[in-house]
Structures are given as structure tokens and as C-alpha cells.
Chains A and B, each alone.
Chain A
Amino acid sequence: MPGQIQSFACPDIETLAGKSLEALRIAPVTKSMASADGRLRAALANHLALVWRVLRRTGLGPADAEDASQDVFWVLAQRFADVPERAQKSFLVSTALRVASDRKHSKWYRSVSAGLDVEARVSEAPLPDEALDMRRAGALLDEALATLEEFERSVFVLAELEQLTRAEVAEVLGIPEGTVASRLKRARESLEVAVRRLRSRPRAAR
């Protein structure tokens, strides 16, 4: 292949630039975009918290989950006509899982995501006890969830934490309902063991 690429030595080429001062036009905000905005606002009001939690519990840090939330709703915005409102929840959840998976598997994420964790930056600030407890609980659960195999983790997050029906989980993950039940049981058992093990660690090690 390299041998086929033609190359030539460059003399001082008199490039006829033909410069154009025409600025690149960016499409203005139109009335149609404004009404799309209403539909997007409704989707955000109904499902942003769900998308956020799915992204976080499937392993993204807060900073990365924010970026991924934008990606998820951008995908929805492009596909409003294809996704009926009743199917929006499933669509967003499956998109969130895919976006999270892409980000986790990207080499960039593996190399630098730890340094961008907002939670890590603010962890020294004093917090009300309740919020601190919540944060610790979230961190402990995430650590335990990280011990699960990715597929079981998805089943657990959707069925147990987000309390989607088995039929919804089966549809999102493309598996039979029976498999949802068996994987959920196994995931729950593994997770309980992991949580107990993590809780029993000496505090300094946490």
C-alpha cells in the first residue's frame, strides 16, 4: 500500500490561493428548533435523573457522566421522529449503557478519567453528615458494583436500582426475561458479598 501512494518533490509552488473571506455560516436558531426544545425539555424532566444514575452506576465518574448525559440526549434529539414517547425510557437507557460502555472502553478514559473526577476534587470540603453518608454509600456501592461482570452489573442497575420491569430490562439488553431473573439473583448475591468484604476492610484502607 505505501508503495502505491504517489508523491512528488515540492518546488516553490505558486499557489493561487483564491482566498475567500466568506465566513462559515452556522445555521441560526429557528422556530422549529425552538419547538424541538420543548420536547427535549420534557424528555430531560422525565428521564435525566434515570440516565444520570445509569451512567454513574455503570461506572462513570461525575465529570464523565455529565459529558455522557449530553451525548445520550443528543442521540435522542436526532431520533425523536423514530422514538415514540412511550419508548423513550428504554431508548435512553440502552443509549446510556452503550455510551457508558464506549467511554469506559476508550483508551482515553482508561488513561485520564481518574484525574477528572469532580468528587475527588471536592472531597476535602466539609459536608453535612447526611450528604457525606450518601456520598460514602455511593462510593462503596460503586466499588462493589465494579467487582461484577459488566453484563450482570447492567442487569442489577436496571432491575434492582432503577426498578425497571423484567420485560423492560429484557428489551433493553436484548435477552430473555428468564435470563434477567437468573442474572439478577446472581448479581445480588455477588454484590452483597462484595459489600460485606469492603465494609470489613480497616478504615485506613478505604
Chain B
Amino acid sequence: MTTSDGEQRQAFERLLDAARSETPPPELGERVLEQVAYRARLEGIAVLPRRRGYHAAAAAAGVLLLAAGVLLVVLARRPAADLAIVAEQAVSADKPSAAPGAAAAPGALRAGPLANDPCLAPAPVSGAEPSIDDFEDGDDAIRPLEGRAGFWRWAREIDAPGTAPALIPVPRPDATRANRMAQHVKGGELVDWGATVEFDFRPACYDASKYVGVSFQARGPGRIYFAPRERSVIPIAEGGSCEVDCYNPHVAKIELESAWRTYQVRWTEVRQRGIGKPALDTRHLHSLAFLIRAEDTPYEVWLDDVRFLPR
């Protein structure tokens, strides 16, 4: 090694040392704490100890189910000769009910995707309150029916993540006394992924299986894609459960006209990009979105009376 090589090597090591000693901005820790607390409150998640409650509930449910299973076996099959067969049948038939007992073991608990998975305690949905938002209240919140919550936003490729503006309804050009307000977005040419009008369900896991789809009024002209997004297409960091091939939601392409029309999209009519993809998981919806792709810009879209389609 020449002197020059030695100096180069020393300079290189100094470079590495400098990188090893880099520290985060002084306030970052507090900002992370604030952000996590904020997200936890929005999701209604008690970040840590609720798990203990879940442990206890799972263990109690397991014990109860196991006891019930044993009691049923004993009562139903008295003769001793049948016991072995009955026990075997009971074990296989009761596998799902035995699972909560097994879930009390730490190993089994790790099988779940998230410790505080919002899907563990879904809001009860009767299927009798289909209105998602008619925008008549003039705010960006969806209607709080059947445990639904969420806020409309208008996200564009030019917005930094998390900074998409809230979308407040405006008066309809053809307003009537009963139907005054609607959502309206208008924008110029975009070059990347485009724009979206959307809201996330809060908590980010909504069971819409009591309904068969969504209807909405819309006005263009232009093309949009209606996308009911299940949790599995949204990255974990954004409240979903996706680890690979994220942001590939089920969509239905809709050609809007320049007059208001009502569109009905059934869950069976939305498709995911790719071959052999499964049907939409309507039990675990993360959000509803109306996507505008870059090739369909400039754009102007009106939306109103978004509602689930009852069975």
C-alpha cells in the first residue's frame, strides 16, 4: 500500500466515522411520540395494553368453548365404546372453537397481522343505514351511521404524503332545497399517478359485506375509477396490511357524462390489475376512492349522494 493509498483509506474511514456519529434532529423523538399518539387516537387504538385484554378475552373464550365442547361430547355420546370416535370427531369438528384456547399461547398470537388489528373489533353493521354521505351538512366528515367514520380528502400527485387537503362540499350549480351541496374537484394536467377523492374508514377496517356495492351521483365529463380499497392493498404504515405489490386496488372504470347521473357499482364488478386476482374482500375495507388517472387530466368531477347498495 502506498502512502497515498493509506491516506485514501484513512479518509474513507473518517467518512464512515462521520456517518456513524450522525444524530437525528433534537425534537424528532417528541414529534414521533405526538404523531403516534395522534394516529392511535384517530384509529381508536390503545397502542399497548389493550392486548392484555385481548389475551384475557381469548383465554377466557378458549376455556369456555373447550368446556362447552367437552360437555357436549359427554352428553351426546354416553356409551363408553363410542367415546374414542366421538372424541376424534369432536376434535376435528371443534378445531375452530379450540383455536381461541390455542391463541392464548404467545406463538399463536403472533399469527395475527397486527397486535391491535382494527379488524378484531369491527363496528356492527346491520345493512339498514346505507347513506355514506350526501354532503348536505357541508363538512368533510362522512355520516356517522352504523359506526362509520372518515374524512373526505382530495389527494394529488403534487401533494406530499399526509398533506392532502380536506374536501369541503360546495353548492351544486343546480341546487334544490333538498339537495344543495356536492363535492367538486377540478384540476389541470397531471403527469404521474393523478389525483383521488377519497376517505379512509376509521378504524381502517369496515365490514361492508351486508351491502352489495356503492351508488353515487357524478358529473364530468371525463373518466374516473371507483376503487373500494381493502386493507390488503394499503401498506402497513398507512393503516393497511400490505407488504408487497401495494396500491393495486379493485377498480371499476366509469365514463362520466356532462350531466348528473347515478352510478351503481356492485362489489362483483370491480377488478384488480393482474391475472387470477381474488374478489374484493368486502369485510375488511380500508377506504373508498374515486381515482383520476394522469391520462384523464385535466379533470373536473362532481360527486354527490354516495351510499351503499342494500341487498
Contact = CB atoms under 8 A, between A and B. Distances in A.
Interface in A5-50: 5-10, 12-22, 24-30, 32-33, 35-37, 39-41, 44-45, 48-49
B41 A107 contact: no
Contact of B46 (A36, A75, A116): A36
Contacts of A85: none
Interface string A93-120: 0000011001000111001100010000
Interface stretch (A65-73, A147-155, A169-177): A65-73
Interface in B253-303: 253-255, 259-265, 269, 271
A116 B47 contact: no
A47 B166 CA distance: 34
Contact of A71 (B24, B31, B40, B237): B237
Given A15-B134, A78-B47, A81-B115, A5 B19 contact: no
A164 interface: no
B18 A138 contact: yes
Chain A contact residues: helix, strand, loop or mixed: helix
Given A7-B261, A7-B263, A66-B25, A161 B16 contact: yes
Contacts of A79: 114-115
Given A5-B254, A78-B45, A12 B263 contact: no
A134 B36 contact: no
B22 interface: yes
Contacts, number: 228
Contact of A102 (B191, B246, B261): B246
Contacts of A14: 176, 178-179
Nearest to A8: B262
A2 to B, nearest CB: 5
Contact of B47 (A57, A77, A111, A134): A77
Contact of B42 (A26, A80, A108): A26
28 contacts: A1-B271, A12-B174, A13-B305, A20-B143, A24-B141, A27-B42, A32-B50, A36-B48, A40-B33, A41-B33, A49-B23, A52-B24, A52-B28, A69-B32, A73-B32, A77-B36, A78-B115, A78-B116, A80-B47, A80-B48, A81-B116, A102-B246, A107-B193, A108-B192, A112-B158, A134-B22, A141-B16, A160-B16
Interface of A: 1-2, 4-10, 12-22, 24-30, 32-33, 35-37, 39-41, 44-45, 48-49, 52-53, 56-57, 62, 65-67, 69-75, 77-82, 98-99, 102, 106-108, 111-112, 116, 133-134, 137-138, 140-141, 160-163, 191-192, 195-196, 199
